[in-house]
């Protein structure tokens, strides 16, 4: 009887200890999706900067087609670390860009269409916001509108991705140091209110310009001021129709953020229209956008190699089109096929370079990218 009571008492103490441990777990710890390989060992050197490169809709098919169309060689091959992430949304196997980007930005699975909010529509803290809180400079560059789903998910908190004017207003709630993208009309010719966010940015001290006033190369950034440039009124053109600003915008972003005072910087760059080529089931559209994005990857890697203190992570939110290379394809003459004009649920490659890159090998949920970057930066 005495032994039974002692055993029962021991079990009660064990349960109590475990309960206290669970209750004391910080709220920002990974969910069950993110418990594997989300921590970096203490001896790994902390990077000063992190650059997150997102090729929207870029799966292995898109990368491979771009590679063969470029003489069997891409800059993306320079990354020493490769992993895979599971792209599904909170309640759908097929994610969209909003849920996918929110997973990267906040470390939370959410519903399709959600911009920086959890499944119960509560705002979640993003990597860009964390960077600002920690004293880092921040930037966004995209070949879509700057209020499109992917860039929006790092800076805004809205229930639906189509709320472009509300997303634009969220830019004024931050002190983002640098952004370039389309969508000028959502800032200065709004239908939902009479605000002129272009003017409000200027009143906050931003150096603001746009495609109508001057070309990007004619609008240099001032390292003493925040910077915004609008590349189009609505959606920018495809690269094969004359859009050419992504390489310059990315170089300007890196240079500007590096010169800003602070501890370092966080920069997200999106090659947005790889995805649009997939939706259009257009092989040449995909390949031209992939090739441009890859050229920019080369520039970013050159910067990271020179500085020696920058973590570069490259991935996609999802694959678009079910794009594949099929017979009778040859390296100099591709034959391709599509299975859909929407997204697919295939796992997505992740490439990493720089201090902390080793943590990005393996297979994990898309939300783990948030925790891996956060762990690398000690945020």
Element (H, E) at 227: strand 227-230
What tokens were used for 361? 């090998």
Q: Order across the sheet with 81-86: list the strands.
A: 207-210, 227-230, 178-182, 137-145, 265-271, 49-55, 310-315, 348-353, 81-86, 362-365
d(CA 196, CA 123): 25
DSSP, collapsed to helix, strand or coil, labels residue 52 as strand
- Nearest Cα residue to 164 out of 143, 180, 188, 128: 188
- Choice among 97, 144, 153, 272 that is catalytic: 97
What tokens were used for 346? 């295939």
d(CA 61, CA 57): 10
Residue 42, φ and ψ in degrees, nearest 5: -60, -30
Indicate if 97 belongs to the active site.
yes
Q: How many residues does the chain have?
A: 379
Spatial neighbors of 24 by CB under 8 A, at least 6 apart, are none
User: Catalytic positions, please?
Assistant: 97
């Amino acid at each position: 009887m005495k032994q039974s009571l002692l055993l029962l008492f021991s079990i009660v103490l064990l349960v109590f200890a475990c309960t206290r441990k669970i209750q004391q777990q910080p709220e920002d710890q990974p969910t069950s999706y993110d418990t594997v390989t989300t921590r970096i060992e203490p001896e790994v050197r902390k990077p000063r900067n992190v650059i997150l490169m997102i090729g929207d809709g870029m799966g292995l098919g898109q990368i491979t087609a771009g590679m063969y169309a470029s003489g069997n060689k891409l800059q993306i091959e320079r990354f020493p670390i490769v992993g895979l992430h599971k792209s599904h949304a909170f309640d759908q196997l097929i994610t969209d860009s909003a849920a996918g980007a929110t997973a990267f930005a906040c470390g939370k699975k959410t519903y399709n269409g959600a911009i920086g909010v959890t499944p119960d529509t509560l705002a979640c803290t993003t990597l860009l916001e964390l960077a600002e809180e920690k004293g880092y400079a921040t930037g966004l560059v995209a070949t879509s509108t700057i209020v499109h789903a992917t860039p929006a998910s790092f800076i805004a908190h809205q229930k639906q991705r189509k709320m472009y004017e509300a997303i634009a207003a969220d830019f004024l709630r931050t002190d983002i140091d640098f952004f370039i993208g389309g969508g000028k009309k959502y800032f200065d010719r709004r239908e939902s209110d009479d605000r002129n966010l272009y003017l409000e940015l200027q009143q906050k001290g931003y150096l603001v310009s746009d495609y109508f006033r001057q070309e990007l190369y004619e609008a240099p950034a001032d390292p003493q001021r925040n910077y915004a440039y609008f590349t189009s009124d609505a959606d920018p053109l495809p690269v094969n129709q004359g859009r050419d600003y992504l390489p310059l915008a990315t170089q300007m972003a890196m240079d500007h953020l590096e010169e800003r005072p602070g501890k370092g910087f966080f920069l997200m760059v999106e090659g947005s229209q790889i995805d649009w080529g997939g939706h259009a089931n257009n092989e040449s559209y995909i390949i031209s956008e992939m090739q441009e994005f890859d050229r920019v990857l080369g520039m970013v890697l050159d910067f990271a190699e020179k500085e020696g203190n920058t973590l570069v992570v490259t991935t996609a939110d999802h694959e678009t089109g079910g794009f594949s290379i099929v017979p009778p394809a040859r390296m100099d003459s591709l034959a391709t096929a599509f299975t859909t004009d929407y997204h697919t649920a295939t796992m997505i490659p992740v490439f990493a370079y720089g201090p902390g890159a080793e943590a990005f090998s393996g297979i994990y949920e898309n939300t783990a990218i948030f925790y891996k970057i956060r762990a690398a930066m000690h945020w």
